[in-house]
Amino acid sequence: MAARHYFCRVCGIHTFTHPRTAPEDYTVNFRCLDDFDLESATLERRRFDGRNWEEAVKSYR
């Protein structure tokens, strides 16, 4: 099992990921969306323990 990372063929930006920890989900890079204003968006922020990420990701389910 490995994550799949997708990049734009033209500019190389990381567009989205198909994470191995949640194979039914995708993570999207908001900066790639034309009609999304990251500055005015109301987003939920969560702390994430990257050192123990396999355990930390369980708290998101």
Helix, strand or coil, per DSSP, at residue 4:
strand
Query: What is the tens place of the pLDDT at every residue in 20-51?
Result: 777 788 888 888 888 888 888 888 877 778 78
With contact defined as beta carbons under 8 Å apart, do 16 and 4 qualify? Answer: no
Residue environment code for 43-53, b if the CB has 16+ CB neighbours within 10 A, otherwise e: eeeeeeeeeee
Q: What separation in angstroms does the CA of 9 have from each of 2, 18, 35?
A: 21, 17, 21
- Domain chopping of the chain, boundaries: 4-60
pTM, two decimals, is 0.56
Going by pLDDT thresholds of 50, 70 and 90, the confidence category of residue 15 is very high
Alpha carbons within 13 A on the beta-carbon side of 54: 2
